[in-house]
Structures are given as structure tokens and as C-alpha cells.
Amino acid sequence: MTAKWMRRSTYASENELYRDQRVAPADQKILEETLVLYDRIRGLHGGPLLINSGRRSAEKQEELRKAGYRAAKFSPHVWGCALDVRVPEGKTDEYLVALLFGGAQLLGYDMPRVGWRNYRNGKSSSTFVHFDFAYLLPLESIPMGARKAWLVRGLTW
Ligand SMILES: [Zn+2]
């Protein structure tokens, strides 16, 4: 299985996907399943769905770690297969989670890995939902220390 990559999305702007300016032009691409699922849930939602974070450089990830965010040593954002979608006004994180799992099912995809509960910070809803298809990356490109978690389809946290 070969991973396929896309630079553009129907709904997301390149500014949102590649906001981190240290992402090299050659790396300005996102795993196909990730962008297609985003576009599908954006269509299902029927209004703007902002992306807080798309592809990140390794430098950006290290900065987030040092700044004390809940940022992993290895992040699927750096590998271009993850997006953080902002919870729209008047909705909850569970609304986005349902869209993600429902959208994946409509597309005939296996389930994405989705994170929201750990980002609630004591509130009833997080402000964004992370999703990725890290298990679709070429195995040899996945860092050893991340394999155990990244290869679990449908993992939630
Ligand atoms: Zn994320």
C-alpha cells in the first residue's frame, strides 16, 4: 500500500494547512485520507470548520513541547497526516467526533485516531478535536517510539 498525498483541499485554505512557515514547500502536502475526511465532515457540517493546526515542522513541535503544551515527542502533525479542527460555535467536541467517525464510515475508511478528552482541561468540551490516519503512513517512516500508538486504528484519547 502506497500513501497518497494532497496539497489542496476543497474547503481548507493552504494558509490553514501550512500555517507553520517552516514546513518546506516540498512537505506542503497532507495524507489523502486525512484531507478527504476533513472535506467530507466540512460538507456534512455545512458551514466553516476552522483548522487550528495542520502540518507542522519538527521545530514547531519541539517549541510546543518546551512551552509545556500537551505536545507529544513525535506528532502525526509533523508527518502530515493529522489535523486539529476547532469546535464550532454552539457545538461540543462530541459533535465533531461523531462527524469524524460518521464521515469515515461514509467514505468506507477505517476509523481515524481521534483525540479530544485529554484536551478538555476540566471543561465539558475541548476547543478542538485532533484526528489522524497515522496507521496509513509507510511503516518505515513511523518513528520506532511511536509505532505502538500510531498503528492502532480508531484509537481515542
Ligand atoms: Zn493534533
Cα of 12 to ligand 1 centre, how many Å?
16
pLDDT category of residue 35 using cuts at 50, 70 and 90: very high
Span from the CA of 106 to the centroid of ligand 1 (angstroms):
23
- Domains in the chain and their CATH numbers? 5-150 (3.30.1380)
Q: Is 42's pLDDT higher than 80?
A: yes
Q: How confident is the model at residue 1, as a pLDDT? A: 66
State the cell numbers at 52: 487550528
CA–CA gap between residue 15 and residue 51 (Å, rounded): 10
pLDDT at res. 143: 94
What is the distance in A from the centroid of ligand 1 to the CA of 155? 13
- Name the residues around ion ligand 1, CB cutoff 5 A: 82, 84, 130
Measure 53 CA to ligand 1 centroid, in angstroms: 7
How many other CB atoms are there within 10 angstroms of residue 24's CB atom?
8
Q: How far is the CA of 73 from the centre of ligand 1 (A)?
A: 12
Between CA 154 and CA 157 the distance in angstroms is: 10
pLDDT in tens, 143-157: 999 999 999 999 999
Distance 1 CA to ligand 1 centre (A): 24
2 Cα: distance to centroid of ligand 1 (angstroms) = 23
